[in-house]
Structure 1
Amino acid sequence: MGWDQTKWAESNFPIAADLDNDPILKGRLIYLIRVDGHASWTSPAVLDLIENLPETVEGGSIIRGDDGKPTGVFVDNAMKLVPLPPWSDEEVQGFFDRTMKEALSYGLTSIHDADVELDHVNFFKKAAEHGTLPLRLYVMGRGPGEYWGDRLSPLKNYGKDKRLNFRSVKFMADGALGSWGAALLEPYSDKPDENGQLLASPETFKDVINKYWRDGWQTNIHCIGDRANDVILDIFEDILERQGGNVTEWRPRIEHAQIFTLADLERIGRFGVIASVQPTHATSDMGYAESRLGPERIKGAYAYQTLLRVSPQGVLPLGSDFPIEGVNPLLGFYAAVTRLSVSGTSPHGPGGWFPEEKLTREQALKGMTLDAAYSSFAENDIGSLIPGKKADFVVFDRDIMTVPESEILQAKVVATVIDGKVAYGTL
């Protein structure tokens, strides 16, 4: 995982034949996921395994050459056409253990896992029952697919240490900006024949969102492009304004909330829908986002200060989206308050990319703690250090609220404490 054609000289998608140019790689089964998780690059050997590829895929693309043959790149829903081998139980456990160890080393006390297969819910459930969840998990079952909201029961503060919560569903409305898959109302400025795509029809999204809402599940939708955000806000508006939905009880989230029309920036605030954002997406995308969107449309993109200002609850939960971005939360804290790359640069100079959308350090800290807790119904238990709440906190070797911005990323974790016990480091 991790290739990014925007960092290459010609910024073109790769092709399968590229992987056969190296004698070590030639003939091997290779499947490489793009940095945003919304495209895959396969080797010729993988293409040979796949028979009878369809001409088109709803909500996805099979990239083809001038000869009409697949190039080896599959975008969004087309990625499902590649027959990947399933993970063994040992591989799942090993990946989980490594992830938990790394997360604790960077000071994470809670993780919102936004892409959980239903059999992995059982994995987490067993770990919670045995008291082997090292930190708190707020897991979102994968959707839309086959509807499961009426046959599974939510889990609230579940397990021996009460660290597992499963009360929400997450699915994707569109792709990503970097692979031209984000669904836009108007064509891409740098690719006029492309608008991106919704991963399902608006009617399908409306039907499944209503079902999960009626069965009591928080509904969290990945939306990058302005069309995706517009379609999902229409559905949320119908539930909240016309069907009697209670936004405080339901707490619907738009994950990423990247590109809005100015009217929809006002609308998300009016409805009280939670915008769950990842500040490093802005600094990762800033090298090409303006060329993708043009000078006017970019004004409604990565608008974090605006999203916080219009929120009636005053919340803007901040996350990382790892493994798409780095797991270290300080990367997001730094990006939120500086709008700069880790090297201190931006297309708009040292003052940051669209600096009017910077967050203050206090806003960013609250977004990573109390706002994140609110977005997972946990604001009464975690998210701030007051009597009566869980003793979850991290100790750094310096004060990230006062050191120069250039020193924020130099901070190291001394200790990570969960339920009042040291889970990493020493005190």
Structure 2
Amino acid sequence: MSGSSESLVFSTGSATGPTAVLNSIKDTSMPAPGKGPKESYSFWPLFLGVTSIVAAYFLARKDPTATLSEVYALCSEQANGVHIVDHDNSKAQCVVVNGSYIADIGSLETIKNSWDDKSLQIRFVKPGAIIIPGISDSHAHILEYGATQQLPLEEARSIQDAVARVREYILLTPEIYNDTSRVITGGGWDHTVWPTTGWPSAVRVNFHATDLAYSSKYQSDLDADGVIRGRHVILQSKDCHALWVSSKVIEASLPLPETIEGGVIVRDDSGRPTGVLLDNAQDLLKQPELTESDLLRRFKVAVRDAHRYGLTSIHDAGLDPVSLAFFKRKAETGTLPIRIYGMTYFNEDEPYWGNTTIPIIGSVNDRLSARSVKIFADGALRTGGAALYETYSDNPATNGFMRLDAEVLFDVIPKFLRDGWQVNVHAIGDRANGIVLDAFEASLSGANVTALRPRLEHAQMMTPADMIRLGKLGVIASVQPAHVISDMWYAQDRLGPDRVKSLYAFRSLVDNGARITLGSDFPVESMNPLFGFYAAITRKSPTGQSPHGPEGWFPEQRLSREEALRGMTIDAAYASFTETYLGSLEIGKRADFTVLSRNIMNIPVEEILGTEVYATVIDGKPVYGSI
């Protein structure tokens, strides 16, 4: 990424309209931690976006490039079947689309009176259906989802079951079965639901026949299977913070260091790697470079499912250089079929690139932006890497770990903010969130936070004092409600009955003034945004269960339906600087919307997950279903 120079199209990157954006560029200095006097913070990307922001804001009702067939009204039989998701949560009966833009909203009668009904097609959604703004997922991993879908392991209920699924995949895939050099990738395994404790492994390659204890202990693991043995197998965990690999992969990556900061190489009693690597240790594996065909196959799978679930926009939480280059190639050829807001991956071992790389803002029809940086502060709760103030209740030997030193955060966060980048930091444990908020607080002193919009990715576990501080600082909380109903079954054992109350405390975050945006973290959780919507408002499993009974797990922390809907539409747009043209069905915005078979805003919660997506529409044209 360092030193790149690109010809880019700048689009909206505003606050709330042209005047607000111009005002936001004022007050552009803040102290950098440890730097003494204030240094000037340049917001040149915002300046460059002003012209297009103004154009979008004052968009006329009619798109002059639209043909007659691209001007239509989509209406509901109900007077309130269109959920606009504006400031007042208004509703309407019809939305008028002119080419790629929303041209009007109102009742059927009003629309007929305002438009020549001879030239305006009037279409109706099916009875009971509603129209909402196009759904955004604020935290996901696009190409990683495509990779895991090749060999999904989330349903595996034991090590033996997971191994059997790998074996079956090989046997049913001739090009892999007949070529032992092919790398086999999959993901989604979850050791927290397996009956055994501890990690899975690969069999030690050269164990002696007399080492029966070792052979018996690991007889169900990867290399014990004759079909799998000798192949390169790389399996990502459900939370994406651990890799389970075969001995062949370990051999190809030798020598491995004894330790690695911010990560763990799981070893047996003799000190040999067992085949599981956590967090930063995952980067030690030598993996083959992905081909364009590999990337395209993964991308097509992810986009196909995203459209099917009603998604029109995805915030990709951690673009490595390969992924970002692929998305840029697709955007430049006009073939990005979904909007992508990319978070560029931060590698502390590389030179600082914030002042040498140009942010991508609304490239090619607002389909691709990459104006933020993603930094990992700690690991994950599921794998025991979340950084806590106190030790884990189920493992008093550790309190997790930081993947970066606090000094790095205090150094790079103000630099990225100064150079016009949004800063998004992964933080799970209460200690990690506290340290990151310390760095944000120091970096944001005197700054216009609305112009910068820093984000805590996950904001999963916070002390009450830090929840208050989050709201006061104006840092966005990017949360994933589906994690609640996955983690609630083991969370108290891991944290104890008192600390667990500060986990996924969404209501407390909102009540303390935090702005939240919702995502799924797919492939960690289901891509279906209605699953996250359901989890946010119920905090119970799809079958209506929770450790605290039918009212849900800590039901006082539930979000309202309005808050959840805004979190996956207009608030997601705000979190990606796109609220002037996405996130709501207001006149002049892009015609991105989703048609649902049921009104999720008032049906019984038990019916939400049975709701279908009738259509997903981007720029006025269906990419899934029909209208």
TM bucket, shorter chain: over 0.9
Other-structure match for 1:326: 526
Q: Is 1:172 aligned to residue 406 of structure 2?
A: no
The 8 Å contact of residues 569 and 584 in structure 2, kept in 1 or not, is answered as yes
Alignment counterpart, residue 223 of structure 1, candidates 416, 420, 427: 427
Tell me how far apart the structure 2 counterparts of residues 19 and 157 of structure 1 sit (CA, whole Å): 45
Deviation at 1:214, TM superposition (A): 1.3
SS of the aligned residue for 2:577 comes to coil
1:171 positional shift: 1.7
Q: Distance in 1 between matches of 2:463 and 2:510?
A: 16
1:236 matched to which residue of 2?
440
Secondary structure at the aligned position of 1:292 is classed as helix
- Structure-2 residue corresponding to 1:369: 569
Which residue in 2 is equivalent to 1:384?
Answer: 584
Counterpart-to-counterpart distance in 2, 1:128 and 1:27: 40
What is the RMSD of the two structures over their aligned residues, measured on CA atoms? 1.2
Q: Which one-letter code corresponds to 2:578 in the other structure?
A: A
Distance 1:306 1:156 in 2: 33
Alignment partners' CA distance in 2, 1:422 and 1:162 = 17
The equivalent of 2:457 in structure 1 is 255
Number of residue pairs the alignment of both structures matches:
422
Spell out, residue by residue over 1:128-184, the C-alpha distance to the aligned partner (whole angstroms, 9 max, x if none).
23221112111111113322212211122111x222111101121111001001111
- Residue 280 of structure 1: which of 479, 482, 494 is its match? 482
Pick one of 361, 374, 381 that aligns with 1:156. 361
Residue pair 1:274, 1:311 contacting (<8 A) in 2 also: no
Instruction: For 1:73-152, list aligned pairs within 5 A.
Output: 73-145=276-348, 146=350, 147-152=352-357
**Preserved CA contact (<8 Å) 1:265 1:300:** no
Query: Are positions 1:290 and 2:495 aligned together?
Result: no
Residue of structure 1 aligned with 2:413, choices 209, 213, 229: 209
For structure 1, which segment, 330-339 or 38-47, has the greater mean C-alpha deviation from structure 2 after superposition?
38-47
Structure 1 residue 46: Cα displacement: 2.1
Q: Is the 8 A contact 2:266 2:277 kept in 1?
A: yes
Q: Calculate the TM-score normalised by the size of structure 1.
A: 0.96
Measured in 1, the distance between the counterparts of 2:343 and 2:302 equals 17
The amino acid of 1:295's aligned partner reads P
Contact 1:171 1:220 in 2 (8 A): yes
Match of 1:65 in 2: 268
CA distance in 2 between counterparts of 1:281 and 1:304 reads: 12
Q: Kindly state the Cα deviation for residue 419 of structure 1 after the two structures are TM-superposed.
A: 1.3
Secondary structure, counterpart of 2:366 in structure 1:
coil
Higher Cα Rg: structure 1 or 2? Answer: 2
In structure 1, the residue matched to 2:162 is none
Deviation at 1:245, TM superposition (A): 2.3
Deviations 1:274-319 (A, max 9, x none): 000000011111111111111111121101111122225xx21001
Q: Offset at 1:10?
A: 2.4
Shift of 1:51: 2.1
In structure 2, the residue matched to 1:304 is 506
Aligned to 2:399: 195
1:299-353 deviations in Å (ceiling 9; x for gaps): 21101111122225xx210011111111110110010011011222111111100
The offset of 1:21, in angstroms, is 2.2
The alpha-carbon deviation at position 40 of structure 1 amounts to 0.8
Paired with 1:95 and 1:31, the residues of 2 have a C-alpha distance of 16
**Conserved in 1, the CA contact under 8 Å of 2:413 and 2:443?**
no
Greater mean deviation of Cα atoms: 410-419 or 137-146:
137-146
Given candidates 324, 347, 350, the residue that maps to 2:550 is: 350
CA displacement 1:211-255 (0-9 Å, x = unmatched): 2111110000000011110110000000123xx222111100000
- Tell whether the 8 Å contact from 1:30 to 1:46 is kept in structure 2 after alignment: yes
Preserved CA contact (<8 Å) 1:144 1:208: no
CA distance in 2, matches of 1:73, 1:421: 45
* Structure 1 match to 2:37: none
Q: Which has the higher contact order (CA 8 A, sep 6+)?
A: 2
Q: CA deviation at 1:68?
A: 1.9
Moved over 4 A (4+): none
Question: Which string of whole-angstrom CA distances, capped at 9 and with x for unpartnered residues, describes residues 68-107 of structure 1?
Answer: 2222111100111111111101111121122111101110
Q: How does 1:4-15 map to 2 (within 5 A)?
A: 4-15=190-201
Alignment gaps of 5+ in structure 1? none
Measure, in 2, the Cα distance between the counterparts of 1:155 and 1:291. Answer: 44
Question: What's the counterpart of residue 415 of structure 1?
Answer: 615
Contact 1:266 1:310 in 2 (8 A): yes
Cα distance in 1, alignment partners of residues 323 and 242 from structure 2: 23
2:239 maps to 1:26: no
Percent of pairs identical after alignment?
Answer: 53
Q: Is the 8 A contact 1:6 1:12 kept in 2?
A: no
SS in 1 for 2:559: coil
Which deviates further from its counterpart, 197-206 or 61-70?
Answer: 61-70
Post-superposition offset of 1:125: 2.2
Per mean C-alpha deviation after superposition, the further-off stretch among 126-135 and 171-180 is 126-135
- 1:33–1:119 CA distance, 2 compared to 1 (3 A): closer
Aligned partners of 2:190 and 2:554: how far apart in 1? Answer: 23
- Closer/same/farther in 2, CA of residues 349 and 198 from structure 1, 3 Å limit: same
What is the one-letter code of the residue matched to 2:571? D
> Quick one: distance in 1 between partners of 2:243 and 2:321?
23
Deviation at 1:27, TM superposition (A): 2.3
CA distance in structure 2 between the partners assigned to 1:311 and 1:393 by the alignment: 28
Aligned partner letter, 1:75: L
**Structure 2 match to 1:267:** 469
* Contact 1:157–1:163 (Cα < 8 Å) also in 2: yes
The answer for unaligned runs of 5 or more in structure 2 is 1-186, 204-220
SS in 2 for 1:41: strand
**Counterpart secondary structure, 2:517:** coil
